[in-house]
Structure 1
């Protein structure tokens, strides 16, 4: 075992993979997971959730004026 350990440098782990690469891949994974969590949890939601679903004046009648459509001089 001593012979195997002597050949390693401080920048390599026991499998011969550079430690910097392991930390780099881990950091990128954490950043991607954090961005995905932010988009799904904090940035998600729709505008419909922000609007109250209860009517603001339950006894009133909501009306619109008439609408006339004319295409090529023909009124529909």
Structure 2
């Protein structure tokens, strides 16, 4: 797992204004860390359960790296 890629996706998520772009960043991070399979994501739309699971993982990941991040 490349931490820089994950942090870049967090930045993309926080900069995005539309839910579609937020989901795209979450999908990229989720596929990268193994939480999602690329073939199961039609048109980069996530269910609420998938979205919460990825955000939870990213929060725990940031805490383990000693970084405090607020997801917008």
Same fold (TM over 0.5): no
| Larger RCO, structures 1/2 (Cα 8 Å, 6+ apart) | 2
Larger radius of gyration: 1
Q: Which has the higher helix share?
A: 2
Q: TM-score, structure 2 length as denominator?
A: 0.29
Q: TM-score, structure 1 length as denominator?
A: 0.28
Q: Which has the higher strand share?
A: 1
